[in-house]
Structure 1
Amino acid sequence: MKKYIIGLLAIMPLSVLASSPDCHSWPMNMAEAWMKNAGIVDLANLDESKTEIKQLASEKKGKDLYTQIYHFVFHDKSGGQYEVITQSDASSTECSISEVNSFLVTKKDLTH
């Protein structure tokens, strides 16, 4: 029984990687560009090292096509933060299959 459990644990990471592509960089870059173009934030003020990334969902739509939903929290150098949800399509070979829909959820400014 112990060998069976160890075998399952050994192959689990491979099955997770095969299930959905890791395509966070495309929607993250497009969300930043969207915030800049909308006048929400100057990209020079963002502290990219503090950016938080969480994939909320990945739905398989075809043989190698997924709709992915990400939640990003961008932090600026003044202590403010910007929460953005994105939705886009990706495959295992191409992260930019579709445009990225970006939604600003929260904008918090540090005021003290």
Structure 2
Amino acid sequence: MRKLLLVPLLAVLPILSFAKGPDCDSWPMNISEGWLKNAGIVDIINLDESKTKSTLLASEKKAKGLYTQIYHFIFYDTTGNTYEIITNSDASYEECSMSGVDIYLISKSHINK
């Protein structure tokens, strides 16, 4: 039930994202890959980076050029499994890593072969 409520919210968030801010998806993406490895979910070497999808869901301007950004990532491994992650971090035009990255694994799908 909770996931059903999350889907419409995630669909509407890009529309509400007026303050785009800096293009900083690489910082939370790299941290997420490391988190997936450290959590024992998937090794980075098994991820197919060419298939990784990144979507900026929201960007809120804070004081003095600082933005809070929420990204949705879909990682694919070499066997076709997917890992969906939502991240929350602060960024500026000068530096993408203005804060740590909060990482939420929202979906893990395995293909049975």
> What TM-score comes out, normalization by structure 1 length?
0.82
Residue-by-residue CA offset, 1:5-62 (whole Å, 9 max, x unaligned) = xxxxxxxxxxxxx951000000000000011100010111100000000000000111
State the secondary structure of the residue aligned to 2:75: strand
Q: Is 2:59 the counterpart of 1:65? A: no
Separation (CA, whole Å) in 2 of partners of 1:56 and 1:19: 10
Contact 2:20–2:59 (Cα < 8 Å) also in 1: no
CA apart distance, 1:111: 1.2
Q: Is 2:98 the counterpart of 1:74? A: no
1:30-109 maps to which residues of 2 (within 5 A)?
Answer: 30-109=31-110
CA apart distance, 1:77: 0.5
Across the aligned residues of Structure 1 and Structure 2, the Cα RMSD in angstroms comes to: 1.2
5+ residue gaps, structure 2 = 1-18
Runs of 4+ in structure 1 over 3 Å off: none
- Report the number of matched residues: 95
Change (3 A) 1:19 1:86: closer
Separation (CA, whole Å) in 2 of partners of 1:72 and 1:78: 18
Q: Calculate percent identity across the aligned residue pairs.
A: 61
1:11-22 maps to which residues of 2 (within 5 A)?
Answer: 19-22=20-23
Separation (CA, whole Å) in 1 of partners of 2:22 and 2:29: 15
5+ residue gaps, structure 1 = 1-17
Could you say which structure has the larger radius of gyration? 1
Separation (CA, whole Å) in 2 of partners of 1:63 and 1:99: 18
Separation (CA, whole Å) in 2 of partners of 1:35 and 1:44: 11
State the secondary structure of the residue aligned to 1:74: strand
Residue number in structure 2 paired with 1:23: 24
Separation (CA, whole Å) in 1 of partners of 2:75 and 2:20: 27
State the secondary structure of the residue aligned to 2:55: strand
Separation (CA, whole Å) in 2 of partners of 1:64 and 1:47: 34
Give, as a single letter, the amino acid of the residue that structure 1 aligns with 2:77.
Answer: D
Separation (CA, whole Å) in 2 of partners of 1:74 and 1:103: 13
